[in-house]
Amino acid sequence: MKTLDRVLDRVVFGESDNMSGVILDKYEDYLCAQFVSSGADMCKKDILEAAKNVSNLTGIFIRNNVNLRKFEDLPVKNEVYFGDIPKDIIISENGIKFYADIINGQKTGFFFDQRDNRQKLSPYIKDKKILDCFCHTGAFGIHAKKFLAKDVVFVDSSRIALETVEKNYESN
């Protein structure tokens, strides 16, 4: 496990980290966790207590509202594990500020695993028209604007996502 102090990152990425069914995303003082299988769910308390022991966390939120849990008769619900979780957490990626909503956003609130892909847009974007479909927080489109895209259109079926995109766009 990576050190958890002052990190904005995907700390545990399921199978890639030999922890099948476990996702842990770190937002500096907050952790957002997801346990998508019964094996992961059985270890939930031990994993979260270990995370608390190696970091000075203000709060942990569990995003267990994924339908995969239904296949193993697990409850499909979100919960605060401990602490007070703010609706919006402001993070910075590649010099761009983003509001991440770990309570109502999709998955664990921000797709940290796409950071490198967003950075790799740079040489392809200048003076282009960009369509950011399923935009969630608008991270790809806002990176495109930073890399001098001519125009960006954001599309998502979620009103909450589009409101987040608007806040993220305006703050940058």
pLDDT of residue 4: 43
The residue with greater pLDDT, 90 or 60, is: 60
Beta strands 22-27 and 30-35 are: antiparallel
Q: Indicate the pLDDT class of residue 155, thresholds 50, 70 and 90.
A: very high
Tokens of 67: 């339908």
**Phi, psi at residue 67, to the nearest 5°?**
-65, -20
Fold: same for 8-83 and 89-171: no
Q: Which fold has domain 89-171?
A: Rossmann fold (3.40.50)
80-117 tens-digit pLDDT: 999 999 888 888 888 888 888 888 777 766 777 788 88
For residue 35, give every residue at least 6 positions away whose Cβ sits within 8 Å of its Cβ, in sequence order, or none: 21, 22, 41, 43, 44, 62, 64
Average pLDDT, the chain: 88
C-alpha dihedral (39, 41, 46, 48), degrees to nearest 10:
140
Architecture of domain 8-83: 2-Layer Sandwich (3.30)
Q: Which residue ranges make up each domain of the chain?
A: 8-83, 89-171
| Single pTM value for the model | 0.78
How many CA atoms, within 13 angstroms, populate the side-chain half-sphere of residue 82?
9
Please spell the DSSP secondary structure of 99-136, one letter per residue.
EE-TTTSSTTSS-GGGHHHHHTTHHHHTT-EEEEET-T
12-47 tens-digit pLDDT: 888 888 899 999 988 888 999 999 999 999 999 999
CA-to-CA dists, residue 45 to 20, 28, 48, 114, 167, angstroms: 15, 20, 5, 28, 34
H or E element at residue 166: helix 159-171
